[in-house]
Structure 1
Amino acid sequence: MTKIGLAFQSDKSPQTYAQLAQAAESYDIDVLSVFSDLMFQPPILALLEMARVTDRVRLGAACWNPYSLHPYEIAGQLAALDLASNGRAYLGLARGSWLGDVGIEQPRPISHLREAVEVIYRLMEGKTDGYHGEIFQLAPDVRLRYAVRRPRPPLLIGTWGERTAAFADGLADEVKIGGTTNPAVVARMRKRLKSSALVVGAVTVVDTDGAAARARAKTEVATYLPVVAELDSTVQVPVDLLVRMQALVTAGESEAAGALVPDELLDLFAFAGTPAEVAARARAVIDAGAARVEFGTPHGLSDERGVHLLGAEVVPRLRR
């Protein structure tokens, strides 16, 4: 059966995360994720708060980044989350975007991800024979100085790339494409994966006022469309449109940028509209090969209403 997840931006108070996590778990939601985007709060704050008030849902960062955070730090945060959640954590890793804004280069992404996975799991498993990769090293006898709940929490790798997907297939329990609701992209990635489950996530805005939901979604999508549109070879988005959109976003005029997003593009990069419309778009993604759909921030015109409508009116349509 297809799994359903919610993904949250890391910009809220601990109390808000607790309330949203409790609401999500009261519905038929399987996974709660927290983004690890540039200049937002580290996801571990929200995840630990969610772990405190839930008993069933899986929890993880989508995703930690081994360019900005050393694998031994990721291992420590993963171990803490797995302990706090009584074994419900997953390890999410991705190359990420926008790190050039803080002077971090991102060469050799596959090597970075491969070695990060190796170092994290070696530390979690308590291996002490050292590791000498091209990027990361562990001296002999280096180990975590505390007990871990599980040596190998499940792995998710986020990517759009064909080569990274090939590397991740079989190694990762899940491979995630973020920022798309395009069935053509989903079907293409599903064909590349022989072993790993496919996760698809994107901005989500659901409301009984479908027009208002779509307008809000356009504003949200405008912030990342210039990045993901270049990754989707099945869609030709005019370059001048992306340039104008990016300029408005940079100038802090996100609503004006969103107004430039055509309806047909919105439906390829977001779940937006009434509960029936969002469910229909999610069903198309599932039919194309997604094993898990992850509905992303902001969920609705307000966080609380969005989580409620997804849990009460969208998820039941997908379980039928």
Structure 2
Amino acid sequence: MVTASVNIIPEGPIPELVALAVLAERLGYGRCWVYDEGLATRDVYVTLAAIAAATDRLRLGTGITNPYTRHPATTAAATVSLDEMSGGRAFLGIGAGGSLTLDPLGLQRPSPLGSVRDVITACRSLFAGEAVTMAGTGFTLRKARLGFPARANLEIWLAGRGPRMLALGGEIADGVMLDFIHKPALGDYIAKVHSGTRPGAPAARICYSTMIITSDEAMEQTKPHMTYRIVDSPADVKDALGITEDDVARIRNAMSGGLQAAAEFVRDEWVLPFVISGTESDCAAELAT
């Protein structure tokens, strides 16, 4: 069964973001993801709490947080608090983080695969009410336990692009978000997720996330959000699009002046393979497939 979700980038005032989520719920959307982009956007958990207070049915979660800007135990506590506030509607979305979030903080991504695996392991144990002692990748827990009840089956979703990260999602996550994936390779990405599924285990669910472009204005609004995605794209995707190291360097350097400045170096033909575009009828037809 295919259900619709809204993925909110919290770059506008929180009341406007809440209004968007309320509209999505009214239209029958089932899930609301909120980006965690550090200093570039409003705080993800404040935004989610505001949305939780204004909605009744939407499932709510990070889309996506990372292992580096918060201790995993803090992430677990925030997620369980959101779950309590929303009446059991929260989920956790986790990935390795990207340049937009981590570069301004001077944070590297040591062992992203191990970091994401260890965060998921720690959070599952904390959700189960266990006292957790572990030396994770980049963090430590010593008999750490949540001081309030949690749902042991609280969903964890993983986002990634590399083959090993996608397989990890198929192995240990409840679902995998494929965010702004190069569409010609979408089938390959899904196959990589399923390659990690353990024998006899249910296959991870898939959430495909992108933007819909129906006008020149929408294209220009999308380009700032393609800047960091182009920078972070795998080499084979850049090669397929003819994006050179010089192109990436120009975008990365311009990002210090803001995403809008960097968007000047993003070409339409680089955006189109990542999005759903055309007339409203064209977009509806593509979504139906």
Which residue number in structure 2 is paired with residue 74 of structure 1? 75
The whole-number CA distance in structure 2 between the counterparts of 1:253 and 1:46 is: 21
What is the count of residue pairs matched by the alignment? 277
How far off is 1:138 after superposition?
Answer: 2.5
CA contact (8 A) 1:25 1:54 kept: yes
Residue in structure 2 matched with residue 97 of structure 1 by the alignment: 98
Q: Show structure 1 runs of 5+ residues with no match.
A: 288-320
Structure-2 separation of matches of 1:217 and 1:131: 41
Question: Which has more helix, going by share of residues?
Answer: 2
Q: Percent identity?
A: 22
1:133-170 deviation digits (Å, cap 9, x = unpaired): 45433323x3111222x123111101001111112213
**Cα RMSD, aligned residues only:** 2.5
Q: Tell me by how many angstroms 1:231 deviates.
A: 6.1
TM-score with structure 1 setting the length:
0.77
* C-alpha displacement of 1:229: 6.2
Q: Residues 282 and 218 (structure 1 numbering): CA distance in 2 closer, same or farther, change over 3 Å?
A: farther
Alpha carbons 1:223, 1:254 under 8 Å: kept: no
Distance in 1 (CA, whole Å) between partners of 2:256 and 2:135 is 41
In structure 2, which of residues 246, 270, 273 is the aligned counterpart of residue 268 of structure 1? 273
CA shift for structure 1 position 94:
0.7
Equivalent of residue 210 in structure 2, options 202, 218, 224: 202
CA distance in structure 1 between the partners assigned to 2:38 and 2:48 by the alignment: 17
User: Are residues 1:120 and 2:123 paired?
Assistant: yes
> Which residue pairs with 1:106 in the alignment?
109
Asked if 2 retains the 8 angstrom alpha-carbon contact of 1:217 and 1:272, the reply is: no
- Asked if the contact 1:178–1:201 (Cα under 8 Å) also holds between the matched residues in 2, the reply is yes
Contact 2:14 2:42 in 1 (8 A): no
Alignment of 1:100-179 (within 5 A): 100-128=103-131, 130-133=133-136, 135-140=138-143, 142-148=144-150, 150-179=151-180
- Change in CA separation of 1:192 and 1:13 when aligned onto 2, cut-off 3 Å: same
Separation in 2, partners of 1:83, 1:213: 37
Extract unaligned runs of 5+ from structure 2. Answer: 195-202
User: Does residue 1:46 correspond to 2:54, yes or no?
Assistant: no
2: CA distance between counterparts of 1:270 and 1:11? 20
* Alpha-carbon shift at residue 79 of structure 1 (Å): 0.5
SS of the residue aligned with 2:92?
A: strand
Q: Which residue of 2 aligns with 1:301?
A: none
Shift of residue 241, structure 1, vs aligned partner: 3.6
* Residue of structure 1 in register with 2:199 after alignment: none
Q: Which residue of 2 aligns with 1:191?
A: 191
- C-alpha change, 1:205 and 1:174, in structure 2 (3 Å) is same
**Matched residue, 2:197:** none
AA in 1 matched with 2:273? L
Give the secondary structure class of the aligned counterpart of 2:176: strand
Identify the structure with bigger relative contact order (alpha carbons < 8 Å, sequence gap 6+).
1
Call closer, same or farther: CA 1:163–1:253 in 2, change over 3 Å.
closer
